[in-house]
Amino acid sequence: MKSLFSPRKATVAMAIAAAFSLTACQAPAKKAEAPAAETVKPVDTAVLKRDLGDGLYEMAYSPASKALFVASAQAFKDVNGGMIYRLDPATLETKGETHTDLKNFGTAIDEQGSVFYTTNSLDGAISKVDAQSGKVLQRLVFPGKISKEGYPAGAREVLWHGNELYVGRVADPGYISVVDTKTFKLKTEIKNAGKWVTGIIYSPVTERIYAANGSGEILVINPRTHKIEKRWTAGDGKEYLFLNMAEDPSTGRLFVTDDSKGKATLVFDERTGKVIKRIEGDSLGIKFDAKRNEIFISQRESKKVLQLDATTYAVKNSWSFEQNPNSLLIGPDNNTLYVTLKAEFNKDSSTKGTDGIARITLK
């Protein structure tokens, strides 16, 4: 029997996963002993950060339980199962932990905030979790082809829309599994979705679902028919591996990140499907705040989080971290931004430290 975490599976795990410092006070030194160029860095009081655990990925805020949930895959080397952390959204103090037999990655929460869903990417599954207790209520392991190495198509991003869940599958060709939330059973599959389905969002403007993929396409999907109606590309002849998306409904702009091939954020006009702006720089997670008219981008490679004016695209603020910023979540007050921070991987799939989480108070 093959070990659950063979080198091959650890490599696959990291590939799918790729599909966030407190300054100590010191007594003053004697003037003669202090290096001439040494300066004291000011503490950014707007940022609250703590180390939390291994394998942190996406977050969900539950208004019903007033809690911040963080999905964790735990370590990839020699560790089975994952964790779901329940945090105080103001202090980031741990209020509860749910140990799961499968590793957790993507998250989505229903309209009432009473339950949320987390994808179990490595096992091709999705779990339904009670937002009050953190208990896993149901799980669905998707049917489908198993690779020659023995692994299912990864379940990456999940979108809650109405009475359905849309789960992007990391495969070539990729596809989207549609789940009925009432029965928690597979309803249908949207096939031929390009190589690796990554981000998925719903547009209230066009009443369509957008799915990004590793082929550099944005799929425009009708949620009533589950049919792909259009495929948008950058149209510039360059290769892209699109990841995550955010939308400005008032202007019909779709923001799309590429942290691999394109190293940029592309802005699509939803009325034409054409790119109207290219924001250079590595970009992974992205969120749009309509109330603040701002865009937030996590730069995993540059170890920064950017705050941009959504009209001019000018950088209004940025925060640097020792770890690599990954997923973003805007708090319900629109004045708070949560960031998961990833420690770097070693060649043997272990990490160089513990993952963390940051809470940024926006000005």
Percentage with pLDDT > 70 across the chain: 88
pLDDT at 9 over 60: no
Q: Quick one: CA torsion of 158, 13, 354, 322, rounded to 10 degrees?
A: -80
Percentage with pLDDT > 90 across the chain: 78
What's the Cα-to-Cα distance from 202 to each of 130, 168, 212, 217, 250, rounded to whole Å?
23, 13, 12, 16, 14
> What is the SS3 assignment for 278?
strand
Buried b (16+ CB within 10 A) or exposed e, 136-169: beebbebeeeeeeeebbbbbbbbbbbeebbbbbb
Tokens 């540059």 belong to residue: 302
pLDDT digits (tens, 9 = 90+) for 17-62: 554 222 222 223 333 333 333 343 445 779 999 999 999 999 999 9
Tell me how crowded residue 237 is: count the other CB atoms within 10 A of its CB. 6
Does the global pTM surpass 0.85? Answer: yes
Rounded-to-integer distance, Cα 235 and Cα 216, Å:
10
Domains of the chain from N-terminus onward: 7-19+43-361 (2.130.10.10)
pLDDT at 3 over 60: no
Q: What integer is the mean pLDDT of 201-225?
A: 97
Closest CA to 209 of 198, 217, 201: 201
Q: What integer is the mean pLDDT of 273-285?
A: 97
Are β-strands 286-289 and 294-299 bridged in parallel, bridged antiparallel, or unpaired? Answer: antiparallel
pLDDT at 241 over 50: yes
> What is the SS3 assignment for 136?
strand
Q: What integer is the mean pLDDT of 339-357?
A: 88
Rounded-to-integer distance, Cα 245 and Cα 211, Å:
9
Are β-strands 245-248 and 227-232 bridged in parallel, bridged antiparallel, or unpaired? Answer: unpaired
Rounded-to-integer distance, Cα 211 and Cα 356, Å:
28
Structure tokens at 117: 């869903």
Q: Which amino acid is at 162?
A: G
pLDDT digits (tens, 9 = 90+) for 184-207: 999 999 999 999 999 999 999 999
Buried b (16+ CB within 10 A) or exposed e, 289-326: beebebbbbbbbebbbbbbbebeeeeeeeebebebbbb
pLDDT digits (tens, 9 = 90+) for 105-164: 999 999 889 999 999 999 999 999 999 989 999 999 999 877 767 779 999 999 999 999
pLDDT at 285 over 50: yes
pLDDT the model gives residue 352: 84
Tell me how crowded residue 356 is: count the other CB atoms within 10 A of its CB. 22
